[in-house]
Structure 1
């Protein structure tokens, strides 16, 4: 996809989904409440075996035609990196945001990240602070304390082999994906780390917003728990 074909001031929200029927409605409800409404949602169902497809399509029927949503059902499970990259290739927005299927975005998330990228043309990708909550208890939120802020600080953390950006919170410029491509499929469990490092290796700047704009659901079946506990 060429940069000139991307839709100006438009956001493509990519949601990789695998057996998330229990949570995907909360995710979509949060996106429907966004204060910035110039966006599309691209759900890439990575071969789910639960009721994810039925749940999403029922939600789409209830909210159409007021909500732009694309549902892509992959014929087999190809893994997180492959699924999210399918979503990136399908996107048309000048900006691409990531969203995990079991999490919830603050109503001002897209607006604040878009404003930041508009005001800081030197920044290629921006994440946000987030809070995690136990499944079924949204009111019991705990702010994350492992993130870093400021492009120099973030670059220093990754130079030490550490991680300081929550992948589910990121928004980045679509033209960067058009040039660099998506995350690797060779490193299972570290795809999000490698994707950030790809930006840094290309001499691109990254930052985090200090506002809590994302809510990370903690539950036994979440993908990240397999690799690094509660952290997203």
Structure 2
């Protein structure tokens, strides 16, 4: 039986692996959100770099005003596994994804939630984003590989990708029905998760607004699989 989810509440799931240098920037961006009805769920995937200390230090300063759940896994289970753990912990009617090394625009949650309210047939919505080199937030470059509307389904049918995974917000009830991302396709978990929605005849969309800032740095996970510009 599916859990009862909190209406108009957002659960923000943040998989974290050796992100001690960036996690505080991520959380500082979340605390500035104009929409306040949300929780942050950080799933630490067995980090060994001081991520736990960074998160707990931030929590000690902000947690009385900011609902945050921190769970450190006893061993590294991988990106898809950490996400799925966070999805199981989520309470919200809506689930948002956030990479630990990125930053969200203050109006991200407000605009995505408003869009999903106005379009009840849409199950998942991403946003446009801008990439910036680590240490140079002012040097932001807008993405140019996303698609919108009917083009999204066509792009995925061609085996390509056009939604930035770190920007997505989706209805929690869909996770309760379909489950989380696969752990069988290393490096393409985000692609497969969107395809799972499309195969279930669910509608997905992107907002053209730049509501997310993608940090480019040598240790980021996506560099193992993609050229700069994709996520």
TM-score interval, smaller chain: over 0.9
Partner of 2:120: 121
Offset from partner CA, 1:6-28 (integer Å, 9 cap, x none): 00000000000000000000000
TM-align CA RMSD: 0.6
Residue 156 (structure 2) aligns with: 158
Q: What residue ranges of structure 2 are gaps of 5+ in the alignment? A: none
Tell me by how many angstroms 1:140 deviates: 0.1
Does residue 36 in structure 1 map to residue 35 in structure 2? yes
The residue that corresponds to 1:211 in the other structure is: 209
Instruction: State the match for 2:135 in structure 1.
Output: 136
In structure 2, what is the Cα distance between the partners aligned to 1:146 and 1:34? 26
Query: Aligned partners of 1:161, 1:85: CA distance in 2, in Å?
Result: 23
The number of equivalent residue pairs is 230
Per-residue CA distance 1:81-116 (angstroms, 9 max, x = gap): 000000000000000000000000000000000000
1:64 match: secondary structure: helix
Return the alpha-carbon distance in structure 2 between the equivalents of residues 31 and 143 of structure 1: 21
CA distance in 1: counterparts of 2:2 and 2:38, whole angstroms: 19
Q: For 1:225, what is the secondary structure of its paired residue?
A: helix
1:189-228 to 2 correspondence within 5 Å? 189-228=187-226
Matches within 5 A, 1:64-75: 64-75=63-74
Question: Deviation at 1:2?
Answer: 1.6
Q: 5+ residue gaps in structure 1?
A: none
Structure 1 position 112 matched with structure 2 position 111: yes
- Tell me the CA shift for residue 64 of structure 1: 2.2
C-alpha distance in 2 between matches for 1:82 and 1:103 = 20
Aligned position for 2:166: 168
Q: Whole-Å Cα distance in 2 between the matches of residues 6 and 177 of structure 1? A: 12
Residue correspondence of structure 1 range 37-56 to structure 2 within 5 A: 37-56=36-55
Please report how far the alpha carbon of residue 224 of structure 1 lies from its aligned counterpart in structure 2 after TM superposition. Answer: 0.3
Aligned to 1:178: 176
Moved >2 Å (runs of 4+): none
Q: TM-score with structure 1 length normalisation?
A: 0.98
Q: How does 1:78-93 map to 2 (within 5 A)?
A: 78-93=77-92
Cα-to-partner distance string for 1:127-160 (whole Å, 9 max, x where unaligned): 000000000000000000000011x110011011
Q: Displacement of 1:218 after TM fit? A: 0.1
Whole-Å separation in 2 of the counterparts to 1:64 and 1:220:
31
